[in-house]
Amino acid sequence: MKVGERIRALRERAGFNQNKLAEWAGVSQTHLRRVELGQADITVGHLQLICDALGISMKDFFNVSEEKEETAVAMSGLTPRQKSLLIEFLKSL
């Protein structure tokens, strides 16, 4: 899912219209609309403001789950060869 699509989905789930989210986040409604449509990029700073207005963290925005973090930590201790073998195994499932 693209960033703009994710913003729109979270905005709608929170019950905000574009004007309300833009107002609460302190960003331009026009820019927010363009980001949601994929016509403009968003800065990390503006994304943080939007996340704050939605009451979520950047981690929640990008949907980084505990399970993914545990997997990354576990894989960090593997050798490059072990990582490669694990990835090939997972692809075979």
Whether the per-residue pLDDT at 12 is higher than 70: the answer is yes
> Can you tell me the mean pLDDT for 13-21?
95
Tally of structural domains, the chain? 2
State mean pLDDT over 43-48. 94
CATH number for 44: 1.10.260.40
Residue 88: per-residue pLDDT: 85
Do 55 and 23 lie in one domain? The reply is yes
- Residues 85, 40, single domain; the answer is no
pTM: 0.68
Phi-psi group of 79: left, alpha or beta (phi > 0 → left; psi -120 to 50 → alpha; rest → beta): beta
CB atoms within 10 A of CB 7: 23
Domain around 81: 65-93
Question: Rounded to an integer, what distance in angstroms lies between the CA atom of residue 86 and that of residue 25?
Answer: 42
Are both 45 and 80 inside the same structural domain? no
Tell me the average pLDDT of the chain. 88
Q: Are residues 34 and 51 in the same domain?
A: yes
pLDDT tens digit sequence for 47-90: 999 999 999 988 889 875 655 666 777 777 888 898 888 888 87
21 and 53 together in one domain: yes
